[in-house]
């Protein structure tokens, strides 16, 4: 019976899954006590604040002034979008800076403000998505645990009826399916956890380029290849 062959392996996998699920923890490293359900090794940082990526003048983090200029609003949206390769986005910043007059630094600061807001909004959605993902995994782990317990009880039962046998079969099938889903999701976790990081990288690279164009701020040199 095929079920007999897969069961030992399934049992071993289940043990691993349940061990992981019992204490939802990052793949490696210690759990952050403030966010015990956060599944990533990277500590949860809900939002990137200006000070983490910007050494220029003070920024109105929630300011809307950048939206009032059509050129700024368009450029901000264009360079924030991940589909635009970062080198092209950086060239766009250079082109924008070349045309600026006396209010250059002010315009560049507004450009940064817009980029910060757009990328943060996208990143927040991803962070919320990761949390939903972790909660779904937790729920699935509970379901696997419950089904395993039920299966064990039925298996230990003396004088099993036909209904019991059918129930065992149904439970085995459900467990096989659930553990497969759990396993696949668990394997995707490191990839999922990288998503906010990719956005942080983009924000920092853009911010560095904007700072390098500011006349009074020589804080942030460009990387050399």
Partner 1 sequence: MTWPKIMAGALAPLALAAAAAFGGISEVKAFSVYVSNEKDNTISVIDSESLKVVKTLKVGQRPRGILLTQDGSQLLVCASDDDTVQVIDVKTWEFVKELPSGPDPELFILHPSGNPLYIANEDDNLVTVVDIENNKVLAEVPVGVEPEGMGISPDGRVLVNTSETTNMAHFIDTETFEIVGNVLVDSRPRFAEFTADGSQVWVTSEIGGTVSVIDPIAREIIKKIGFEIPGVRPEAIQPVGVRITKDGGRAFVALGPANRVAVVDAKTFEVEKYLLVGQRVWQLAFAPDESLLFTTNGVSNDVSVIDVARLKVVKSIAVGRFPWGLTVSKD
What gap in Å lies between CA 3 and CA 69, rounded to an integer?
A: 66
Give the one residue of 16, 19, 22, 52 binding partner 1; rule: CB under 8 A.
52
Span of 55-63, 150-158, 167-175, 178-186 interacting with partner 1 by CB under 8 A: 55-63
CA nearest neighbour of 65 among 132, 123, 131, 112:
112
Give the one residue of 24, 32, 73, 133 binding partner 1; rule: CB under 8 A.
32
Query: Look-up: residue for tokens 């069961």?
Result: 7
* Residue 91 binds to partner 1 (criterion: CB under 8 A): no
Q: Are 110 and 50 in contact (CB under 8 A)?
A: no
Q: Apex CA 16: angle with CA 12 and CA 17, to 5°?
A: 115
* Residue 20 binds to partner 1 (criterion: CB under 8 A): no
Span of 53-61, 88-96, 155-163, 176-184 interacting with partner 1 by CB under 8 A: 53-61
DSSP 164-197: HHHHHHHHHHHHHHHHHHHHHHHHHHHHHHHHHH
- Nearer residue to partner 1 within complex by CB, 11 or 36: 36
* Residue 47 binds to partner 1 (criterion: CB under 8 A): yes
What gap in Å lies between CA 60 and CA 77, rounded to an integer?
A: 18
Q: Per-residue string for binding with partner 1, 176-215, x by CB under 8 A?
A: ---------------------x--xx--xx--x-------
* Residue 30 binds to partner 1 (criterion: CB under 8 A): yes
* Residue 220 binds to partner 1 (criterion: CB under 8 A): yes
């Amino acid at each position: 019976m095929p079920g007999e062959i897969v069961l030992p392996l399934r049992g071993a996998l289940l043990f691993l899954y349940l061990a992981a699920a019992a204490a939802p923890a990052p793949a490696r490293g210690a759990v952050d006590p403030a966010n015990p359900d956060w599944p990533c090794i990277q500590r949860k940082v809900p939002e990137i604040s200006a000070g983490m990526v910007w050494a220029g003048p003070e920024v109105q983090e929630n300011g809307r002034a950048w939206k009032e200029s059509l050129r700024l609003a368009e450029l901000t949206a264009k360079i924030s979008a991940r589909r635009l390769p970062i080198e092209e986005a950086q060239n766009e910043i250079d082109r924008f800076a070349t045309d600026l007059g006396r209010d250059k630094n002010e315009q560049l600061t507004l450009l940064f403000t817009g980029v910060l807001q757009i990328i943060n909004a996208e990143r927040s959605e991803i962070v919320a998505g990761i949390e939903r993902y972790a909660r779904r995994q937790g729920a699935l782990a509970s379901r696997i645990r419950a089904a395993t317990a039920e299966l064990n009880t039925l298996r230990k039962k003396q004088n099993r009826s036909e209904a019991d046998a059918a129930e065992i079969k149904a439970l085995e099938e459900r467990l096989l399916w659930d553990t497969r889903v759990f396993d696949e999701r668990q394997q995707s976790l490191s990839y999922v956890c990288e998503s906010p990081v990719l956005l942080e990288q983009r924000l920092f690279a853009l911010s560095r380029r904007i700072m390098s164009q500011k006349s009074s701020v020589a804080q942030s040199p460009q990387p050399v290849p």
